[in-house]
Structure 1
Amino acid sequence: MNKRNDSQAPVRKSRLLPGSLQGQYLIIVLAAFLFIPVIIPLASLTYTIVQWSSKSDMESGAKYGGTSGLLSDWHAHAANMEGKSDAAIDEALIELKRRYPEASMFWVDANGATRSQLPPQLDIPAQWTPEEAIRFMKASIGKDPYTVIAFLGKENAGSSFMTIRMPREAISTGNPNGSGTPYYIAFVFVMFSVFVAMSLLFFRHIRRRLLRLQSAMARQDEHGIPEPVAIKRWDEIGALEYSFNGMVAQLRDSRQRQSEEEQLRKSLVANLSHDLRTPLTIMQGHLYQLREEPLSPKGQQSVSVMQGKAEGLGELIDNLLAYTLMTSGRYKLTLEAVDIVRLARESAASWYPLWEREGLEVDVRLPHEQLIWQGDRAGLQRMLDNLFQNVVRHARDGGYIGLALEKRHGRPCLVVSDKGRGLNSESSATGAGVGLAIVDYLADSMGLVRETASSEEGTRVYLYEKTNDGRGYF
């Protein structure tokens, strides 16, 4: 008994585990369902955090603290103008100009008059009305330069106001809004690529394992049995591989049992043939002596029938022994050039006394020209003997046997014919099956074809050589 290896271990039950194909597939399906409702919002949240962080970094690293820093500083400067005279405010504004050299600034007193434009600005009116102030504020929102208006006094509650106009490039870090968009797109693309890659790897892995199993099925040993496969993973395909290995093991066991039974049968037939031959020979000898004794006509007839049956049994034993040797590969054939016409004529001559005794009309039509076949002379002789014997046993009631050379399928063909009731009719004789099996085996071994045409009017057996591609004509 062979020990069971890992590839023949018991199959585990399929469970919803990541190691099983079912579990892996469900994980991929779950990832597909969660991609839009989870991954997209997660990417948006990440994008918002990145944008907020970028904006904070930009503000903290910008000149003058960015827009928010400039706004708070300017309001603080305006609050410090509480109680100062116009001249002091002008001086303070000049000092602020030194602090913010890129900016332009001015202030408007309580009477609406423009004071201290640093530098002079053409779009600033000399006298302000409420309508002009409102239009100026609306026009400055979100524009470049960045404009901050602050009323003078504590809590910026005065009627006078001061204005600073700073070019946005002076307070910008150079990072435009939406600078995190490429990262957002990259994140979504990477997540989608990971999902696609997982799917492709999953199905590629399954395909490779199935192709390996298919390749194993195509590999066969000398008996046509596939080779077993090694089970690497215990999942659904592993169960299929285990079942395949079980089938291969059953085929091998069946093949081994069949080979052992065939060998036993051949040995039994060979032993029986040898064991039966000795008593049969003794029986034939005693029957021959009985025929020499003075017997009544009925006695002589009985001895003649027994002698005929003994001869038939001897031929059957010979055929069984020969067929056993052939199928076991111990029947040696020597192929040589044989004149089949001459061999058929000699064989017919040796059978002629028996045909005449059986009352058969003999019709031999063989040409004088040679017809050379490559074959074993003894094997060809045995084929003809078996065909002639079948006619004597099973078609003697037709009273005819013919041997001729004809053309069939464009090739010369040796024909053995009779006028019996055909192969499908019942016959009291036995042994025809073994005889024809021997004919077929020898014909195939020597590159010949046996073709039979049978009807109620008789049977014709054709023997001819195969074509160059190894096929006969049918």
Structure 2
Amino acid sequence: MKRLRLNVVTKLFAATFVFVFLLYALILIGEKFFFERFYLNAKVSELSQAMASFPDEYAKLPPDKHKLDKLVGTLMNRTDASIAIVDEQLRPLNLTPYFLEIKAANKNQVITLPLKEMKSTDLPEGLRVGDTITIDGIYMDENNRNMKPIRIARQSPSTNVSENGLTRVTAVISELMLPSQRRAHNPFYQDSLVADQIGPWLTQQYDEITQMKSGSFIQRKWTDPWSGVNYAIVIHRFSYQGGANYILAVTTLQPVSDAVSMLTSYSLYATPVILVILLLLSFVFSKIITKPLVTLSHSASRMANLDFTELASIHSQDEFGELSRHLNTLAGKLDQTLKELTNANVTLREDLAHKEKMEQLRKELIANISHELKTPLGIVKGFAEGLKDDVAHEKRERYMDVILSEVDKMNELIMDMLELSKFEAKAILLRRQSFPVSEIIDRVAASFQLQLANKQVRLWLSLPEEINNVWADPRRIEQVIVNLLGNAVRHANPSSEIRITGTRERECIRLRIENEGAHIPDDQLTRIWEQFYRVDSSRWRKSGGTGLGLAICKHILDLHGSDYGAENTVNGVAFFFTLVENENKGGNDNGSEKE
């Protein structure tokens, strides 16, 4: 079964989605199971810090209940908790932390706000010092200073309070202590629990509480049996006037419970939407992150296939951009190295081919030399033996002529071989100079007059006067003309004609030597320039020659950079070559010849 291959985009997408989803799930689990505990610990820590500083402030107060009420009210608003102070027998002090101090008819009065009979909605919103209010209530003392409020309003109601036995007072607030707006739920109800419900609970915990050390804290969780709301209780023991006292703080946990419940309900609706958004963001994120990596992967794949034509196009200033630049540098160096290796391999193949060719030529040269020397040596040996056997006197002269002739042929062969070896070893340097090529042709033609006459061959020269001097080595060019003309004479038909013509072509002079004789097979026209190669080896001794003349001509013409060749004509064969005119020479490159 073929294994499924996942690309990096899919892997990163899956990893990102799973990671973020697990993180989201952990957050939901934490909110469900740990957020309420965290809130409780944070709230208890806050209450403990505030309660730890209370004894010092309490000890500094003068014996004035109103001052104590104000201190407790301030602490309740700051900590969002209901506060009670109990003595060593766990009996609560009578505290009325909320009040309105008003000024009416140049007389100050304190309006105590009872915890049990009032609700937050009974108070006008936003009461501040300096506001004018109307209070309907009942005085609780003979001096008409302590009023129990029944109704508090900013404006005077239209009803007649005397019918209900109430007293109406319109005054300006000079001081107040009210539950702050940050107090949760109904602070009056929460504060009344300290007297109604928490008191009996304290009695049940009497042994544990009374055994507390001074300055210590205990924390408990309590549930209101009537409302079912959970509360946190923090008790702190402190010393006051030589006796043990306790400060009790009660704070509701209902806000966090409501928050957890609301978050749980919200999560049920938000989770599907969040999952969809998470899928989209994970996909986009994986595509963005892996795009340069995929580009680098494609570039590396092309490099693996030795394709360096397209480089990675990442220009960011980060690790991907740096990797892209290094990869492009590597590609350039690999491309250059491969080209160098390819060129080296081509050169090596050429060298090996040349070496094999040279080895083959060496073998052929040895075979040809053996063959070329075998015949004349055999002739010399035969005629020498005849002389040794004391042949007739009239034959001795002819025998000596034959021996000398064969020795001359062997000497000519050896000299040509030495000349050819110098060319092949690149030991020949040309001595170029400007000279009229027509003079050399005339001189060479004059030297062949005897051979031409013996074969009754006519020599026809056609060299226009406008032909300029050529830039070449005159000695080597004369050697070429001698070899080509000698070759034309040897293979010309008796009573035929040899033509030497010259024409101007662009910046060169083209010389052509044509005879009338047997054609050269087309497939051998290029091989005639090889050493010891003969078209008809059965007639070579009759026609003369060493078989090295055209090979020497080839090397000389190659050194001159000439265009040369051979072709069959209607009646025979033509050899041609070109020489640079003197006025178009590229410079004087005279050199010496290594002999």
TM-score between both structures, scaled by the size of structure 1: 0.52
Q: Which structure 1 segments of 5+ residues have no match?
A: 1-25, 71-91, 127-143, 159-163, 172-176, 228-247
Aligned to 2:566: 452
- Secondary structure of 2:459's counterpart equals strand
Per-residue CA deviation, residues 345-396 of structure 1 (Å, 9 max, x unaligned), is 1011101211111221211233567742222232112211211122123333
Secondary structure, counterpart of 2:427 in structure 1: coil
Contact 1:422 1:454 in 2 (8 A): yes
The partner residue of 1:334 within 413, 431, 446 is: 431
For 1:432 and 1:107, locate their aligned partners in 2 and report how far apart those are by CA, in whole Å: 146
Identify the residue that residue 436 of structure 1 maps to in structure 2: 550
Q: Could you say which residue in structure 1 is the equivalent of 2:532?
A: none
Q: Does residue 214 of the first structure (1) align with residue 312 of the second (2)?
A: no
Instruction: Give the 5 Å matches for 1:264-343.
Output: 265=363, 268=366, 279=377, 294=394, 318-343=415-440
Distance apart, 1:34 and its partner CA:
1.8
Q: Is the 8 A contact 2:9 2:286 kept in 1?
A: no
Pick from 348, 353, 370 the counterpart of residue 450 of structure 2: 353
One-letter amino acid of the counterpart of residue 217, structure 1: L
**Distance 1:58-1:304 versus aligned 2 partners, 3 A rule:** farther
Mapped contact 1:394–1:429 kept (Cα < 8 A)? no
Letter aligned with residue 579 of structure 2: E
Alignment of 1:245-256 (within 5 A): 254=352
Q: Structure 2 regions of 5+ residues with no counterpart?
A: 48-68, 81-97, 99-112, 129-150, 152-180, 194-223, 229-251, 260-266, 304-326, 523-534, 587-595
Number of the residue aligned with 1:5: none
Aligned to 1:385, which of 456, 462, 482? 482
Alpha-carbon shift at residue 283 of structure 1 (Å) = 7.3
Q: Once structures 1 and 2 are overlaid, which stretch shifts more, 107-116 or 435-444?
A: 107-116
- Would you say 1:40 and 2:17 are equivalent positions? yes
- CA positional deviation for 1:439: 1.6
Q: d(CA) in 1 for partners of 2:114 and 2:551?
A: 127
Distance 1:196 1:65, change over 3 A: farther
- For 2:471, the equivalent position in structure 1 comes to 374
Contact 2:432 2:471 survives alignment (8 Å): yes
Name the TM-score, length of structure 2 as normaliser. 0.43
Instruction: Summarize the Cα distance change of 1:455–1:259 in structure 2 as closer, same or farther, 3 Å threshold.
Output: closer
Amino acid at match of 2:22: L
> Is the aligned partner of 1:100 residue 2:77?
yes
1:155 to 208, 214, 225: 225
Q: How many residue pairs get matched?
A: 352
Partner of 1:232: none
Give the whole-Å Cα distance in 2 for the aligned partners of 1:432 and 1:278.
12
Maintained 8 Å contact 2:507/2:580? no
Determine the structure 2 residue equivalent to 1:115: 122
The structure richer in helix per residue is 1
CA shift in 2, pair 1:65/1:157, >3 Å: closer
Instruction: Quote the offset at 1:422 in angstroms.
Output: 2.8
Distance in 2 (CA, whole Å) between partners of 1:184 and 1:63 is 36
Structure 1: how far apart are the matches of 2:79 and 2:5?
Answer: 59
Give the match's secondary structure for 2:11. helix
Q: Is the CA contact (8 Å cut-off) linking 1:336 and 1:376 kept in structure 2?
A: yes
Deviation at 1:280, TM superposition (A): 8.6
SS of the aligned residue for 1:448 comes to coil
Shift of the 450–34 alpha-carbon distance from structure 1 to 2, 3 Å rule, reads: same
CA distance in 2, matches of 1:412, 1:253: 34
User: Which stretch has the larger CA shift, 366-375 or 399-408?
Assistant: 366-375
Residue identity matched to 1:35: L
Larger radius of gyration: 2
C-alpha contact (below 8 Å) 2:514/2:575 kept by paired residues: yes
Partner deviation per Cα, 1:392-420 (whole Å, 9 max, x = no partner): 23333582211122233564322211122
Q: CA separation of 1:46/1:307 partners in 2, compared to 1, >3 Å: closer, same or farther?
A: farther
Q: Cα RMSD (Å) of the superposition?
A: 6.3
Aligned counterparts of 1:404 and 1:27: Cα–Cα separation in 2: 81
1:261 to 335, 349, 359: 359
Q: Which amino acid aligns with 1:445?
A: L
**Do the aligned partners of residues 113 and 62 (structure 1) sit closer, same or farther apart at CA in structure 2, a change above 3 Å counting?**
closer
Q: CA 1:267–1:411 in 2, change beyond 3 Å: closer, same or farther?
A: closer
| Structure-to-structure mapping, 1:134-149, within 5 angstroms | 148=185
Q: Which moved more, 1:106-115 or 1:410-419?
A: 106-115
Q: Relative to structure 1, is the Cα distance of residues 391 and 379 closer, same or farther in structure 2, using a 3 angstrom cutoff?
A: same
